[in-house]
Amino acid sequence: MRLKGIRRSSNVERRGSSGRSGGKARGLGVVGVLAVLAIGYFTGIDVTPLLQGESTQQQTSASTGQNEQQAVFSEQVLATTEDVWTKIFREQLGRSYTPPTLVIFNGVTQSPCGNASGATGPFYCPADDKAYLDTDFFVALDRQMGAGGDFAAAYVIAHEVAHHVQNELGILPKVNAARQRSSTVEANALTVRLELMADCLSGIWATNVQGLMERGDLEEALNAARKIGDDHLQRSAGQVPQPHTYTHGTSAQRAGWFQRGYDSGDVGQCDTFAAQRL
């Protein structure tokens, strides 16, 4: 992704390290830590207790430099989402867009929606209109999930911003209310539609930044979508896929809805709740 000369968003809140980053969880090692982080994010389980006892070794200058590069990258990607959604809201929806704040941290931080850490992964909190991102997650995405590349990382940011778009449109609170009235299976099904809509909206963002894309970028995003499909993740964990437990959709669904948004560029094409088949 070509970001040279792209502005950095000012809607960013940087928070310092908690001292956990750069160390090792007791008995896990670096690879084990990344595996735990990936499990935590993609299953929705807070695995912070598994990381307790991590040493507080001083970060190396190389690691610090990498974190800074990832933070700047995130700020620039966020800026592209602001430009795209301001335009889409005006041209397609006839309204103004209020962007979210991106909280960039390393280690552990707090949010109204609970603790934020590499264990919980990137997420959007509607209570404060902020998206939370531990930049170390990009490492797990690459090394553990096999979804490397800068555009794959940009897709992660765009997906969380898409949840803010859903909140701006009043979709997120309606779905959250419906989930509270539903059984676990029904709530999971609603969550899948919400997540696939966010994938589609991410595709709309992508098609509007085609001028910044390089060869292979689209495939990076589609590969990331496939790698984080519920069926793929469950198989990778040695399990038989259980559709009633899905919360994000299958690999094919995630990639398909992203592609749909990319091909159409139309918010109206992302209504997963009106779709008879996902």
pLDDT digits (tens, 9 = 90+) for 230-243: 999 899 889 999 99
| pLDDT for 43 | 38
pTM: predicted TM-score of the whole model, two decimal places: 0.83
Q: How confident is the model at residue 61 (pLDDT cuts 50, 70, 90)?
A: very low
Does 162 have pLDDT greater than 60? yes
Mean pLDDT, residues 4-13 taken together: 96
Q: How confident is the model at residue 118 (pLDDT cuts 50, 70, 90)?
A: low
8-17, 85-94, 208-217: range with lowest mean pLDDT: 8-17
| pLDDT for 54 | 40
Does 52 have pLDDT greater than 50? no
| pLDDT for 116 | 77
114: left (phi over 0), alpha (psi -120 to 50) or beta: left
| pLDDT for 223 | 94
Mean pLDDT, residues 87-101 taken together: 98
Mean pLDDT, residues 243-262 taken together: 96
Instruction: Print the SS3 string covering the chain.
Output: CCCCCCCCCCCEEECCCCCCCCCCCCCCHHHHHHHHHHHHHHHCCCCHHHHCCCCCCCCCHHHHHHHHHHHHHHHHHHHHHHHHHHHHHHHHHCCCCCCCEEEEECCEEEECCEEEECCCCCEEECCCCEEEEECCHHHHHHHCCCCCCHHHHHHHHHHHHHHHHHHHCCHHHHHHHHHHCCCHHHHHHHHHHHHHHHHHHHHHHHHCCHHHCCCCHHHHHHHHHHHCCHHHHHHHCCCCCCHHHCCCCCHHHHHHHHHHHHHHCCHHHHCHHHCCCC
Q: Is 11 exposed, middle or buried (0-12, 13-18, 19+ CB in 10 A)?
A: middle
Q: CA angle, corner 99, sides to 260 and 262, nearest 5?
A: 10
Angle between helix 150-168 and helix 61-88 axes, rounded to 10 deg: 40
Per-domain residue ranges for the chain?
12-274
Question: What does the mean pLDDT of the chain come to?
Answer: 84
